Chain A
Amino acid sequence: MKMTPVAVVLGSLLILGAIVFMVVYVPYATYDETPSEIFRERTAEEAAGRKLYIANGCVYCHSQSIRTIDWGMGAERIAQAGDYVQDQPILLGSQRTGVDLSQEGGEHPDDWHMAHFINPRYTRPLSIMPAFAYLGDDLEILTRYVQGLGFKQADRRMDRQRYWKKEAIRAYEAGVEANARWLNIDIVPEGWRNIPNPYPTTAAGLARGRKIYQDFCLGCHGPVGDGMGPAQPWIYPPPYNFTILKNRTISGGILYYHIMNGITGSAMPYFKRELESQKIWEVGNFVAVYFINQSDANAAPRGIDSAWEP
């Protein structure tokens, strides 16, 4: 074959044109623009927040694309083409240095996001996300965008957050006694309240619990468990002070239930995706022994000793 300038330039362009038609134009022309069942239009504030999300490069660490093989944040719903019909540009992302945000809306209340944006390590001590305090008042707008991720599902979760935020504030403002009763009796199912921590408080177990506390809890509840962690100024009702709980019959089960399920409305997240059962029990033991100074570990009622117990 004789290669002439015309063959090189026009030949390349003709091939390119044919392939663009096939792999770009045909998918574009046959794309089904039907919105998915969770879809809704973004509000003006959410759209403005999305611009901030783009301007600050959030897309380089956060995907918005849940796959069939995912377990983590948002994995209750696999992405559909109809979720993206108003996205220009689409923000699928190519890396997950942080969590997928497709369904982030309503996972946390607004005040948690504010503390987290001011410095992500305030709420998540191991995070490597940059601090975004420099955005100032724009953080509120960015929060609106994040809280809308998941569309109608996010709206349902946000309604739930707002309802329970009111309840949590009412309990907190009713005083220490009323708040302790609400937190530890009213919102914990009876069965959980009666379960002592089945893990004995060994030195090894407490050391493990301490590691979990440092990695997950310290930002809000603070190094001495008094609720004065670095996130505290942004959070209302403020993070709980464990040191007032002595002689209030706080069972291991109550602690487990709250750590597992979170306290929706308050900034307390659920940890059931991140911590397996043993880790939750042992961080509960750590809190009970070091901050409450009272532990029901391995107390009755108890069944058969587990095979691993000394």
Chain B
Amino acid sequence: MTTNATSAPPTYMTAKGFTLTAGFWMTVATFMGLLGATELIAPDLTENIGWVVFGRVRPIHVNLVLFGFVTPGLLAAAFYYLPRILRTELFSEMLGVVTVVLWNLVLIGVVVTLAAGYTQGREYAEMIWPVDMGVVLIFSLVLINFLMTVVRRKEPMLYVSVWYACAGIVLTATTFSLGNVIWRPDTGALVGIPDAILLWFYGHNVFGLLLTPLAAGVAYYVIPRACKTPLYSHTLSLLGFWSLIVVYTHIGTHHLLQVPVPTWLKVISIVDSVAMVIPVMAFLINIWYTAKGRLGEIHNDIGAKFVFTGTIMYFFVSIQGSIMALPQVQRITHFNNWVVAHAHVGVLGFAGMISLGGLYYILPRITNKPLFSRFLADFQYWMILIGVVGFTVVLTIAGLIQGNAWYNGETIYRVLPEIHMYYITRASIGLLVFSSAVLGLYNIIRTLYFNPGEKLS
């Protein structure tokens, strides 16, 4: 997979732009998380500052993590690996750079509108209509660039990473429009119970059809490359890809098992949640067997190390997710911090780790210089690993306390002091993760622009 010798060397402007985007917005997103966590232990710290009230900070945190940090990071890697896998140039670096600029404008729009209280009030679909339009536009621009690059490819075979990158963007552009009810600009919502069903169909697909495919695409590229070995199985790639799209899209209603929605729909969501084992294990077996006996190679590349750790987190979050979809389990786990722990394993542990892994894998290759500091990247790796495990332990304990107390007749107010200590620990871990984001941004900027390292051959 070498670039065509007759053309100018690629500039990777788009990949660099998305790298910076992810690095920068990770600091903002994690700061918002830290701020929200702090407000839960000291609610009067920001007393009467409306635009940072907890109810506005939380959606800013969630949306920035999803669309500001994780997705741009995964896209940076995709904009690097697509031309290489397809043995061609990116269709248009110019279009890519325009996309990056628009992407950042949309993110500023997200922060400003949500902080000012302009929201549709639907989890993961908070953005108001003009911002929704911006999101659809930037996803469409990415799609054009991806598909045109595919069309102009010189490599006849499509590698699995290409399937995931293209499908992830196509399906997200579609489900985002659907889930945000963009044909009703004033409310962005349906009425009554169908609104909840559509919302959670879409909400869960942010993970299922955006973060997971893009992260899988990066893992399918980085792990075989780092291990210098072919992928273990083409058949498993096919199974994992198609079963992901079939199964993941069925499960959104497992968020509504305790709500009056049709029972048959609940049954579908539970059965398919358990069936998620199929796409998850098809992907993981493929990746893990590719890496079998080559963990040393993975350890040598900080990018691959992040990515591989992300796949382990994917195992935990997915198995946990299947178990959490069981109604008996939800009696305890629903409505409390157990679910918040689950979300952090998934988005920071799995997709976030792979997003950072993709960045650190491509950075030396797009700058043709070593990372500014492997030590800082390693340090960030451990901060995030400790952070994710810490969030998981602390929030799971808090969730179990809440869920068991409520189920046995204790009121919410009485349980608040019982989880206070865990909220303090969680905020401390939030400080750790925010600090890691600042370190990461510094490392990225130094690597891209102020890198004293020697040129690689």
Q: Which residues of A contact B (CB under 8 A)?
A: 1, 3-5, 8-9, 11-13, 15-16, 19-20, 22-24, 27-28, 30-31, 33, 53-61, 63, 65, 67-73, 79-81, 84-99, 119-121, 124, 126-135, 215, 273-274
A residues within 8 A CB of B59? 57, 60
Which of A16, A22, A73, A133 gathers the greatest number of chain B CB atoms within 10 Å? A16
- In the complex, which residues of chain A have a beta carbon less than 8 angstroms from the beta carbon of B44? 119, 121, 131
Query: Once the chains are docked, how many angstroms separate the CA of A211 from the CA of B416?
Result: 15
Which of A11, A15, A24 has its CB near the most chain B CB atoms (within 10 A)? A24
Name which residue of chain A comes closest to B164, CB basis. A8
In the complex, the chain B residue whose C-beta lies closest to that of A4 is B158
Q: Give the CA-CA distance A3 to B238 in the complex, in Å.
A: 9
Whether A60 touches B265, Cβ cut-off 8 Å, given contacts A4-B158, A71-B406, is: no
Closest CB in chain B relative to A76 CB, distance in Å: 14
- Rounded to whole angstroms, the CA-CA distance of A206 and B101 in the bound complex is 65
**Nearest CB on A from B248, distance (A):** 9
* Best-buried of A20, A27, A55, A89 by chain B (most CB within 10 Å): A89
Identify B43's interface contact among A4, A28, A95, A127, CB under 8 A. Answer: A127
With A5-B147, A53-B121, A130-B47 known, 12 other A-B pairs at CB within 8 A are: A12-B167, A12-B170, A15-B246, A60-B58, A67-B334, A72-B412, A79-B259, A87-B192, A89-B188, A92-B196, A93-B335, A128-B39
Cβ contact within 8 Å between B151 and A5: yes
Q: Tell me the bound Cα distance from A87 to B40 in angstroms.
A: 28
Q: A8 to B166, Cβ gap below 8 A?
A: yes
Which of B258, B268, B336 is close to A95, meaning CB atoms less than 8 Å apart?
B336
Give chain B interface residues in 156-171, CB to chain A under 8 Å: 158, 160, 162-163, 166-167, 170-171
A35 to B387, CA, bound (A): 47
A-B contact count (CB 8 A): 232
Q: A126 vs B406: C-alpha distance in the bound complex, in angstroms?
A: 17
Asked whether A273 and B411 contact (CB < 8 A) given A24-B198, A56-B55, A130-B39, the answer is: yes
**Residues of B with C-beta under 8 A to A135:** 50
**26 A-B contacts (beta carbon < 8 Å):** A12-B171, A12-B245, A13-B170, A16-B175, A24-B201, A27-B197, A28-B197, A33-B192, A55-B117, A61-B55, A65-B258, A71-B411, A88-B190, A89-B188, A90-B189, A99-B413, A119-B44, A120-B43, A127-B43, A127-B416, A130-B53, A130-B55, A131-B44, A133-B47, A133-B48, A134-B50
Chain A residues positioned under 8 Å from B258 (CB to CB):
65, 67-69
CB–CB B406/A72 < 8 A: yes
Given contacts A28-B197, A56-B53, A84-B193, contact A89 B120 (CB under 8 A): yes
Known A-B contacts A65-B258, A79-B260; A89 and B199 likewise in contact (beta carbons under 8 Å) = yes
B413, A94: Cβ atoms closer than 8 Å? no
The answer to the question of B9 belonging to the interface, with a C-beta cut-off of 8 Å to chain A, is no
CB neighbours (8 Å) of A124 from chain B are 413
User: Hey, which chain A residues are within 8 Å of B245, CB to CB?
Assistant: 12, 15-16
Residues on B with beta carbons closer than 8 Å to the beta carbon of A1 = 238
Which of A31, A94, A99 sits near B194, CB closer than 8 Å? A31
Q: Are B55 and A90 in contact (CB under 8 A)?
A: no
Question: Is residue B123 contacting chain A, with contact meaning CB distance below 8 A?
Answer: yes
Check B302 for interface membership: any CB of A closer than 8 A.
no
Nearest Cβ in chain B — how far from A292, in angstroms? 26
Q: Measured between alpha carbons, how far is A61 from B46 in the docked complex, in Å? A: 17
| Chain B contacts for A88, CB-based, 8 A | 187, 189-192, 195
Complex contact B413–A23 (CB within 8 A): no
Contact of A119 among B46, B47, B119, B122 (CB under 8 A): B47
A65 contacts across to B, CB distance below 8 A: 258-259
A100 → chain B closest CB, angstroms = 8
B interface with A by C-beta (< 8 Å): 39-41, 43-44, 46-50, 53-56, 58-59, 117-123, 147, 150-151, 158, 160, 162-163, 166-167, 170-171, 174-175, 178, 187-199, 201, 209, 238, 242, 245-246, 249-250, 252-253, 255-256, 258-262, 265, 268-269, 331, 334-336, 339-340, 402, 406-407, 409-414, 416-417
Report the Cα distance A153→B55, complex, angstroms: 28
Q: Is the CB of A89 within 8 A of B121?
A: yes
CA distance A72 to B406 in the complex (A): 8
Distance of A216 from chain B, by nearest CB (Å): 8
| Alpha-carbon separation in the docked complex, A79 to B189 (Å) | 20
Docked complex Cα distance between A234 and B98 (Å): 55
Tell me, in angstroms, the Cα distance from A89 to B124 when the chains sit together: 13
Nearest Cβ distance between residue B21 and chain A, in whole angstroms?
A: 25
Report the separation of the CA atoms of residues A96 and B258 in the bound assembly, to the nearest whole angstrom: 14
CA separation between A80 and B261, bound complex, in Å? 9
- Chain B residues contacting A73 (CB-CB under 8 Å) are 411-412
Name the distance in Å between B179's Cβ and chain A's nearest Cβ: 9
Expressed in whole angstroms, the Cα–Cα distance for A82 and B120 within the complex equals 22
Q: Is the CB of B192 within 8 A of A19?
A: no
Chain A to chain B: the 3 pairs with minimum beta-carbon distance, closest first? A57-B55, A89-B189, A54-B121
Residues from chain A with a CB closer than 8 A to the CB of B411 are 71-73, 99, 273-274
Check A5 against B121 for contact (C-beta < 8 Å). no
A58–B250 contact, CB under 8 A?
A: no
Please tell me if the beta carbons of A19 and B250 are within 8 angstroms of each other in the complex: yes
Chain B residues, Cβ within 8 Å of A92 = 196, 256, 259
Say which residue of B41, B187, B255, B402 sits within 8 Å of A94 (CB atoms): B255
A23 touches B171 (CB 8 A): no
A95, B339: Cβ atoms closer than 8 Å: yes
CB within 8 Å for A89 and B122 given contacts A23-B265, A130-B53, A134-B49: yes
Contact check, A27 vs B262: say whether CB atoms are below 8 A apart: yes
Complex formed: what's the CA distance from A128 to B268 in Å?
Answer: 37
Task: Tell me which residues across on chain A come within 8 A of B260, comparing CB atoms.
Answer: 79-81
Tell me which of A24, A55, A85 contacts B119 (CB under 8 A). Answer: A55
On chain B, the residues within 8 Å of A133 by CB distance are 47-48
Which residues of chain B have C-beta atoms less than 8 A from A89's C-beta? 120-122, 187-190, 195, 199
Residues on the A chain within 8 Å of B416, using CB = 126-128
Bound-complex Cα distance A95 to B398 (A): 13
Is the beta-carbon distance between B413 and A126 smaller than 8 angstroms? yes
Chain B minimum-CB-distance residue to A11:
B242
- Chain B residues in 8 Å Cβ range of A53: 121
Decide: A30 and B262 in contact? CB cutoff 8 A.
Answer: yes
Which single residue of chain A is at the shortest CB-CB distance from B196? A90
In the bound complex, CA of A51 to CA of B44 (Å):
24
Known contacts A30-B262, A58-B55: A90-B335 contact under CB 8 Å: no
* A27 and B265 contacting across the interface, CB-CB below 8 Å: yes
**Which chain B residues lie closer than 8 Å to A4 at the CB level?**
158
| Residues of chain A within 8 A of B417, CB atoms compared | 126, 215
Of B119, B163, B194, the contact of A3 (CB 8 Å cutoff): B163
A3 to chain B minimum Cβ distance, whole angstroms, is: 5
Which residue of chain A has its CB nearest to the CB of B194? Answer: A28
Give the residues in chain A near B192, CB-CB below 8 Å: 31, 33, 81, 84-88, 90
